[in-house]
């Protein structure tokens, strides 16, 4: 037992060889699953009668309504379902449209293409943006003109040995598989928030614009304005607010004011049916709210606990972001907290954890990993692979627990400073 605890504490099991092996195994398994899906599909549906890309079907169906000049139609569940049945067959499951009207522009553009090419373009483009964001984070998190691949000190050489793995690990991140399987937008969310934080200090206006574009998933932006205001980043704050205002204006001009009435009316359905009653499935929703409901708690209690957690997260972030702490820790904490702060985040949304992992990995390689940090990062990387299944079978909210654990380690590191005991930097606990 002592040896196991020591391995967890040191992260000795997290080696370059094991990371490569696990990542390659997951990529091979995912490729095999895609091949099976393609071989057993019929028309636009898989073997179980679901649309290929499942949730992407609601985006495509909504886009067809926009092209017909009916932008309000997707916000009515019955009307939206009728279009999905018309495209994918009468037995297709219902996939609701829960986005603000901003996202109708994307839906309409994709609906100009046949369904399968639209799905491939959507997933391919968002995957490319996601990979560029991870690459940008790794570059921006290394100070000075040198890059890890250019040699230098021992930590830099250690990073150089790991750098070839970044693309493999980013692609094999299990949340990416979940996102691609559902045809969802977690890759875009990760790209926006990751890139915004990577350029925040160098290009504050661009960062604000990217934060503003996150308004298409407004539940993940609850804590961003709090952090920007608390740290006096008013140019970024103004750019984000201006971007949202521009989106509001353009959307209203394009689709008319009634589209907002339709959106607000549909929010009742989203809140009561999808979130509060758990029709989506509590095991899929990765939030504190869902944990309380999954364990039998009433709706008011779930909202109370979620609100308390969100307030606590806001307070912790304000303290962290106003302290003299490495930016990579601040960025990672904001991303994880942004996911924990909302009652409505699903397992495909955990793709946004990839930028947080990248920030923390870069920081650890520069400054050394404290006890349990390498193990916790590995667990966070693997969690989306099993979070849904574990919660469904055991009611254990593994995804939420892992996010809380990693965020706690980040806050501990921030509170205790960077002067790690020498034994955690020694050859006894090698990096990579």
Domain residues for the domain of 131 are 2-40+123-232+270-424
Q: Is residue 304 part of a domain?
A: yes
Cβ atoms within 10 Å, residue 75: 27
Q: Is residue 228 part of a domain?
A: yes
Q: Is residue 60 part of a domain?
A: no
pLDDT of residue 427: 32
Q: Using an 8 Å Cβ cutoff, are 197 and 236 in contact?
A: no
Say what the pTM is.
0.90
- Helix pair 327-340, 398-416: axis angle to 10 deg: 150
Q: Is residue 387 part of a domain?
A: yes
Give 47-106 pLDDT, tens digit per residue: 999 999 999 999 999 999 999 999 999 999 999 999 999 999 999 999 999 999 999 999
Angle at 272 between CA 269 and CA 278, to 5 degrees: 115
> How many domains is the chain partitioned into structurally?
1
Q: Is residue 332 part of a domain?
A: yes
Q: Is residue 195 part of a domain?
A: yes
Q: Is residue 360 part of a domain?
A: yes
Q: Give the tokens for residue 47.
A: 């073997």
**pLDDT one digit per residue (tens) for the chain, 432 residues:** 677 788 788 888 888 889 999 999 999 999 999 999 989 999 999 999 999 999 999 999 999 999 999 999 999 999 999 999 999 999 999 999 999 999 999 999 999 999 999 999 999 999 999 999 999 998 876 554 334 443 334 443 444 444 368 999 999 999 999 999 999 999 999 999 999 999 999 999 999 999 999 999 999 999 999 999 999 999 999 999 999 999 999 999 999 999 999 999 999 999 998 899 988 889 999 999 999 999 999 999 999 999 999 999 999 999 999 999 999 999 999 999 999 999 999 999 999 999 999 999 999 988 888 899 999 999 999 999 999 999 999 999 999 999 999 999 999 988 876 534 433 333 333 333
Residues in the chain: 432
Q: Is residue 177 part of a domain?
A: yes
């Amino acid at each position: 037992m002592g040896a196991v605890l020591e391995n967890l504490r040191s992260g000795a099991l997290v080696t370059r060889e094991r990371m490569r092996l696990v990542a390659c195994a997951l990529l091979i398994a995912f490729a095999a699953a895609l091949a099976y899906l393609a071989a057993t599909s019929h028309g636009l549906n898989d073997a179980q009668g679901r649309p290929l890309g499942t949730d992407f079907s609601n985006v495509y169906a909504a886009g067809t309504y926009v092209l017909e000049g009916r932008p309000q139609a997707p916000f009515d569940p019955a009307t939206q379902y009728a279009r999905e049945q018309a495209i994918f067959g009468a037995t297709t499951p219902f996939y609701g449209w829960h986005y603000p009207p901003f996202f109708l522009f994307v839906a309409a553009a994709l609906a100009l293409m046949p369904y399968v090419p639209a799905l491939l373009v959507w997933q391919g483009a968002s995957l490319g943006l996601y990979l560029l964001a991870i690459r940008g984070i790794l570059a921006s998190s290394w100070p000075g003109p040198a890059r890890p691949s250019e040699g230098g000190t021992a930590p830099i050489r250690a990073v150089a040995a790991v750098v070839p793995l970044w693309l493999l690990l980013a692609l094999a991140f299990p949340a990416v598989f979940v996102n691609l399987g559902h045809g969802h937008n977690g890759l875009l969310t990760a790209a926006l928030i990751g890139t915004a934080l990577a350029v925040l200090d160098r290009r504050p206006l661009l960062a604000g614009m990217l934060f503003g574009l996150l308004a298409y998933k407004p539940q993940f932006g609850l804590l961003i304005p709090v952090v920007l205001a608390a740290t006096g980043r008013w140019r970024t704050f103004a750019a984000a607010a201006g971007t949202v205002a521009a989106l509001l204006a353009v959307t209203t001009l394009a689709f008319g004011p009634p589209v907002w009435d339709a959106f607000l009316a549909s929010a009742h359905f989203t809140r009561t049916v999808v979130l509060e009653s758990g029709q989506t499935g509590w095991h899929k929703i990765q939030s504190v709210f869902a944990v309380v409901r999954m364990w039998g708690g009433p709706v008011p209690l779930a909202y109370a606990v979620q609100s308390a957690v969100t307030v606590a997260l806001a307070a912790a972030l304000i303290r962290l972001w106003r302290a003299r702490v490495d930016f990579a820790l601040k960025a990672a904490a904001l991303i994880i907290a942004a996911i924990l702060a909302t009652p409505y985040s699903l397992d495909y949304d955990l793709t946004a954890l990839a930028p947080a992992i990248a920030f923390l990995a870069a920081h650890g390689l520069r400054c050394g990993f404290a006890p349990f940090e390498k193990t916790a990062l590995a667990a966070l990387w693997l969690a989306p692979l099993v979070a849904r299944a574990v919660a469904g079978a055991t009611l254990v909210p593994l995804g939420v627990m892992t996010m809380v654990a990693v965020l706690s380690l980040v806050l501990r590191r921030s509170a205790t400073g960077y002067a790690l005991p020498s034994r955690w930097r020694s050859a006894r606990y090698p990096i990579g």
